[in-house]
Amino acid sequence: MAKSKVVVTRQLINEAQGLLDAKKNDLEIVQWQSEKGASGILVMLTDKVDEELLEAAGPQLKTIASFSVGTDHVDRDALKKRNIRLGYTPTCLTDAVADLTIMLILMAQRRGGESMAKVSKGEWPQMPWHPLLMTGPQIRGSTVGFLGFGRIAQASLQRLLPFGIKRVIYLTSKPGQPAKEDHYGLLKNAGIPIEPAASAEQLAQESDVVIVGCALTPSTKHLVSTDFFSKMKKLSVIVNIARGPIIDTNALVKALDEEQIFGAGLDVIENEPNITADHPILKQPRAVLVPHIGSATIETRVQMATESVRNLLAGLAGEAMINELEL
């Protein structure tokens, strides 16, 4: 019987590569970009899985494994039409992204990017000390608003509680309704009010820190735009650890220019990675942008890589994946 052909679109971390290499006698393994005739394909977040790729692969394709938590790079309708299974890695990233969320909040509130820029430019000697030098708002006593309240949002909340926040509000796809899942027992045992918001407007008005953690869908694209920013507090900050297009970048730049909000911490942004040195967001001293590194810990990337391969192999064998998205 002919071997099933597997295509992997990148070189992998050693641990994951070892898993794949162990199946060399059973599978025809092709790495890089040759998808024709493949039974399975392992893709990265930057690889678009669309009709063109599926047509090129051919009718024997039965499994896609994505090295990602997000799946907006995948045409799920096209996969469903062809009965192709989709594996992904939604639970690997939680701790790493939640850690980065706290970093971005602190950087935005405490003007970390602005401070580092002044030091690197040699401006510190020209900064005589005074009581309000480089001051910003503090987390303690804040109301934190979450756009999206899934596992990563709740892990971020778990990390925020020791800072002494006073209240949490959150908005899901069903405004005003309690979250379906309580991943860490926080909804009952956090010791502070945790309440569903009735609308994005309410969340904007009442939050000192807004954390964007929802999925990118047609209804959430530019969910945070001019109207949202106009309702935020002047000393509030916004953090995006989800997908760039949820925040309207032009509206964010305008809000920062006009001091409608205090600052922003961004792991993602519209049109990434094509952010050049003259991009308007980089001219904002109180905006911190890092290059989509939410999952970038060694431990997380190893786990994502090995889980992606296990999902791929399980799909080819007709077995249960570690994490499979229902289409």
Provide the annotated active-site residues.
292
Determine the residue type at 253.
V
With beta carbons less than 8 A apart as the criterion, state whether 123 and 148 touch.
no
Phi (first) and psi of residue 116, to 5 degrees: -65, -35
**56 Rama sector, left if φ>0, alpha if ψ -120 to 50, beta otherwise:** alpha
Q: Using CB atoms within 10 A of its CB, is residue 221 exposed (0-12), middle (13-18) or buried (19+)? A: middle
Half-sphere exposure of 130 (CA within 13 A, CB side): 5
- Adjacency order of strands within the sheet including 263-266: 194-196, 167-171, 143-147, 209-212, 237-240, 263-266, 287-289
- DSSP code for 73: T
CB-count exposure of residue 77 (10 Å: 0-12, 13-18, 19+): exposed
In this structure, what token pair is assigned to residue 2?
């002919």
Look at the block and give the residue holding tokens 């678009």: 48
Phi then psi for residue 191, to 5 deg, are 85, 5
The β-bridge partners of 196 are 170
DSSP bridge partners of 283: none
| DSSP code at position 94 | H
Task: Provide the sign of the torsion angle of the four alpha carbons 178, 179, 180, 184, taken in this order.
Answer: negative
- Closest CA relative to residue 45, chosen from 320, 322, 267: 267
DSSP string, 249-297: HHHHHHHHHTTSSSEEEES--TTTT---TT-GGGG-TTEEE--S-TT-S
